[in-house]
Chain A
């Protein structure tokens, strides 16, 4: 079973969950430049990919399953099964802007974002005409320099916003990490994938209960 993990902090947390749910792969913790990590004993092969690419790896069956943030899934709309909400990596997709910004509906709203599809579908549901400015990073800078009126971005603690005199105007949708599976892999590796799902789900539930 090929598993795509999102590079970065979320990936570390997710690997920890998979390890404790019975899918360990000790070589992954070694410091080296390897890209693929295999543990034949439990039948898994892990690899790190850019978080926004996880959905593509899974959709095209290079990975049987993968873990991706709901933000990425909303943006790419991949043809995959979304089997499980891991309940980690929690944040929310928000509209944010300068604290003193007043929205005038008679003007075209300029929106800077990494998530153009999510932003445009949110505003078109309100029949709002907007001007999307696609950026790849440092989104918070856009309203400060007058590049855009507001931003659509994921907010975890809101600390960056606060320090830059910005605030959340609206919450679009809550986000968390999801376990996704390729639709064809799911059928041909049904037992393996559902077993993985069950174990991870159980582990996550127990953990959540322990937290409470």
Chain B
């Protein structure tokens, strides 16, 4: 039953994306290893399952879909809007060993403007809405954080350590590290404030305005203000502790959460830097939904394997058995036909034919 539920969800997501003119992107289970090894730190899990192809080329079971989409999107061909629903092969930090994970998502590659970005964020919200009406979508802007760090003249090599502490909302350690690095105290205060900020945009955006120093922060804030208006306010939260690797991501980033699940189910953002690293000049934005997490959702345990168990024996005529079962099904009940009670299954009603 659970399987069916997630299949239905995927189906509805596909319809949603198609409704916005996104085209399905299909890829094979494996790709040349080269593609992934060059962009290893972009991947969520660094481990890649490899094997040698018939001609001796090293292949990888795909750990990610985005890299392949970006590689195959032609530069300068206008906007390319694709969605996908594929299995990826990853390790998770909690369980060693590889797992097959169902991932659905979309990417928009090309000249990204506010319309394209707003549309992707809106689609992220709608995707979550399809799964559960009670979702939260957290939004951050890396340009704002980077602008703040620029203003404090923070050296590049210290930034990832600072971001890690922001990600933990570990204000004490963040302050300690800033002191250690001898960073501007005023910037340190703003960084700490930014780390603990959490709430709806209407309340927080004015607070952010006070922090703006320099054009980079100002334009980031303008972008945030504009896209935030597109998503239902009740579900939107600003949270600058969501930090992705700045080597790949820039600009708007977001995560989606559902109550009852231990981690985020949706993750996405703007990743122009990945394209730059691949030697391209255009931009991209997209997100992925981790479908494998959804089986934990809605503890609607199905009590019965079928509504009716219909028992028969050697004396029952064959047509009578099948006819009665069909009649039952027409009433909308599921029917299983057996000679005797199967072990380990449960049924709402059990009866003999006739």
Chain A residues within 8 Å of B, Cβ to Cβ: 59-61, 77, 79-85, 182-184, 186-188, 190
Contact = CB atoms under 8 A, between A and B. Distances in A.
Contacts of B181: none
**Top 7 A-B pairs ranked by shortest CB distance?**
A61-B262, A82-B170, A81-B169, A82-B168, A60-B262, A184-B257, A85-B172
Interface in B242-270: 257-264
Contact of A190 (B198, B258, B261): B198
Contacts of A80: 168
B257 A187 contact: yes
A80 B262 CA distance: 10
Interface in B123-148: 136, 138
Contacts, number: 48
A82 B237 contact: no
Contact of A81 (B138, B168, B172, B260): B168
Nearest to A56: B94
A184 B198 CA distance: 13
Instruction: Say what secondary structure dominates the interface of chain B.
Output: loop
A188 B168 contact: no
Given A59-B262, A82-B169, A182-B262, 11 more contacts: A59-B94, A61-B260, A77-B93, A81-B168, A81-B170, A82-B170, A83-B169, A184-B259, A184-B261, A187-B239, A187-B257
A28 B263 CA distance: 30
12 contacts: A59-B262, A61-B260, A82-B173, A84-B172, A182-B262, A183-B263, A184-B257, A184-B262, A184-B263, A187-B239, A187-B257, A190-B198
B265 to A, nearest CB: 9
- Taking chain A's interface residues, is the majority helix, strand, or loop, or is none over half, making it mixed? mixed
Contacts of B241: 81
A61 B263 CA distance: 8
Contacts of B264: 183-184
Contact of A187 (B136, B168, B173, B260): B136
Nearest to B242: A183
Nearest to B258: A184
Nearest to A185: B262
Nearest to B262: A61
A187 B261 contact: no
B173 A61 contact: no
Interface in B147-186: 168-170, 172-173
Contacts of B94: 59-60
A83 B241 CA distance: 12
B162 to A, nearest CB: 15
Nearest to A85: B172
A14 B264 CA distance: 29
Contacts of B93: 77, 79
A85 B173 CA distance: 9
Contact of A188 (B170, B239, B257): B257
Contacts of A183: 257, 263-264
A147 to B, nearest CB: 26
A59 B95 CA distance: 13
Contact of B198 (A60, A79, A187): A187
Nearest to A182: B262
A182 B257 CA distance: 12
A187 B262 CA distance: 11
A190 to B, nearest CB: 6
A148 B257 CA distance: 46
B125 to A, nearest CB: 15
Contacts of A59: 94, 262
Nearest to A62: B262
A85 B93 CA distance: 25
A182 B262 CA distance: 7
Contacts of B199: 190
A70 to B, nearest CB: 10
Contacts of A186: 169, 198
A80 B239 CA distance: 15
Nearest to B257: A184
A77 B170 CA distance: 13
A80 B199 CA distance: 19
Contacts of A81: 168-170, 241
Contacts of A82: 168-170, 173
A39 B136 CA distance: 28
A60 B264 CA distance: 11
Contacts of B258: 184
B173 to A, nearest CB: 7
Contacts of A60: 94, 262
Nearest to B265: A184
B243 to A, nearest CB: 12
